[in-house]
Amino acid sequence: MTTDQRIAGIELGGTKVVCGIANGDGEVLERTSIATRGPEETLGDTRAWLEPRLGNASGLGIASFGPIHVDPASPRYGRIGATPKTAWQGFDLLRALRDWTELPMALDTDVNAAALAEIRWGAARGHQNVVYVTVGTGIGGGIVSNGRPVHGLMHPEIGHMKPRRLPEDDFDGTCPFHGDCFEGLAAGPAIAARWGKPLNELPADHPAFAMEADYLGQLAVNLLLTASPTKLIFGGGVMNCTELLPMIREAAARHLNGYLDLGDLSTGSGELIVTPGLESNAGLLGAVALVIDAS
């Protein structure tokens, strides 16, 4: 891989598609952003921008919202699964893209891809066991173990675990499948529905912050106790409220209650739970990292 190489990437998100061209050093050369609607309109606009730029590219990476079938051995490889975004349910994303180009393609979830990009170029350089959480219109997470993204029956869908409810919180939750799972209680739409405003329009001493930090702290604990990451990255729109990160660390430490002996490890909790190094390019560069890892 060199700085001369051109790799195309598509991050298909619930709100927007980010697509672009990067080089093999993870430098974004060109990018654009397209509103996510139904598959036809969204991919029509994406193709119009991307197709003329594919001539010099060596591959196309796709980092998609989930659930999506990511096992190349599955007959459903590249298809979107059961999602609240009904227009996309069952859509064969990979087949659609193969109509555009014969470039080699690599596919994973947006969050698995972002974790790989953060390892290669961002906040988790040199780490092999990393979790990347996004807290935005939903809550998703990618897990990399021993340097490789975690797949299996499907892929991680960490936002649908359930936290212990706070006694003062009687909100029903917004998840159509589970009501008050982490996503249903702590993603952007849940915050807006519970408090009438997004977090960034509430004052820093508003109880919404402590509640959000407690739920995300519980999520951090579940991830530390399963994936055992040495870097746990929290990104996504809600994390733009910079007050949250230290509050999440504190809540995670409170819930762990000394169990993992973090103080004695070289990665103390301050270094362990961090925000992304690549910011809004994490998904796009994740798509690019997938191509590099596959080649």
> Would you tell me which residues interact with its own copies (CB under 8 A)?
67, 81-82, 128-129, 141, 143, 145-146, 148, 150-158, 160-162, 164-165, 177-178, 218, 221-230, 255-262, 265, 267, 272
CB of 144 to its own copies, least distance (A): 9
> Residues with Cβ < 8 Å from 182, sequence gap 6 or more?
139, 158, 159, 160, 161, 162, 163, 215, 216, 218, 219
Closer residue to its own copies in complex, CB, 53/162:
162
CB of 129 to its own copies, least distance (A): 3
Closer residue to its own copies in complex, CB, 54/260:
260
40-49 own/partner pairs: CB under 8 Å, 24+ apart: 42/12, 42/17, 43/96, 43/97, 45/17, 46/10, 46/17, 46/19, 47/100, 49/19
Closer residue to its own copies in complex, CB, 47/178:
178
CB of 193 to its own copies, least distance (A): 20
Task: Give dist(CA 135, CA 236) in Å, integer.
Answer: 5
Closer residue to its own copies in complex, CB, 154/247:
154
Two tokens, residue 191? 């915050």
CB of 170 to its own copies, least distance (A): 15
CB of 85 to its own copies, least distance (A): 14
